[in-house]
């Protein structure tokens, strides 16, 4: 199987993260690795740097990983998680500035076609362009 860019979905809510991942799998299929996480370290609404690191490693691909986030803290914690990865992986992970559901579906669709990490990020971020 050809390697594709992996997708990570990070929401404050584990329900939203799981639901988004379900939509990606149904619409794009299983050839793209998708991992998700939601909830703070106590399981309440929020995000957890450790869970984000685990999700990135679970979706790992040599082509890199695109991370889709919902609100502020999810983005800040995702950026922190990327910096805490092992050095060889850090430069192969991007946090996309895109709406979480549409961005994840568009990014996974692009990734399924074998696109590069930069292409996957660009397609997801087109959704945020005016």
Partner 1 sequence: MSVPSETFKSLVKAAAEQVIASAPELTSLDQAIGDGDHGTNMKRGCEAVLGKLDAISAQPLDEAFKMIGKTLVMTVGGASGPLYGSFFLAAGEALSHDKHLPEDLADVFGSAVNAVSARGRSHVGEKTMLDVLVPVLETLKTAAGQPDLIARVRATATDAVERTAPMQATKGRASFLGARSVGHVDPGARSSCVLVQAVCAGLEARA
Q: Which residues bind partner 1 (CB under 8 A)?
A: 40-42, 44-50, 71-73, 75-77, 79-80, 84
Task: Tell me the β-bridge partners of 46.
Answer: none
DSSP state at residue 61: -
The nearer residue to partner 1, 70 or 110, going by C-beta atoms, is 70
The nearer residue to partner 1, 49 or 58, going by C-beta atoms, is 49
Contact 12, 46 (CB under 8 A): yes
What amino acid positions are annotated as catalytic residues?
A: 12
In whole angstroms, give the CA distance from residue 127 to residue 2.
27
The nearer residue to partner 1, 71 or 118, going by C-beta atoms, is 71
> Structure tokens of 121?
């990020």
* Token pair 């809510």: residue: 13
């Amino acid at each position: 199987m050809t390697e594709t860019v992996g997708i990570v979905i990070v929401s404050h809510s584990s329900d939203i993260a799981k639901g988004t991942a379900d939509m990606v799998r149904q619409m794009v299929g299983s050839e793209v690795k998708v991992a998700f996480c939601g909830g703070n370290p106590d399981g309440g609404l929020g995000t957890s740097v450790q869970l984000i690191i685990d999700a990135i490693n679970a979706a790992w691909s040599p082509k890199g990983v695109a991370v889709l986030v919902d609100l502020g803290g999810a983005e800040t914690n995702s950026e922190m998680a990327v910096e805490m990865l092992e050095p060889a992986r850090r430069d192969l992970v991007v946090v996309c500035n895109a709406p979480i559901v549409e961005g994840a579906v568009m990014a996974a669709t692009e990734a399924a076609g074998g696109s590069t990490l930069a292409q996957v990020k660009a397609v997801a971020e087109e959704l945020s362009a005016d």
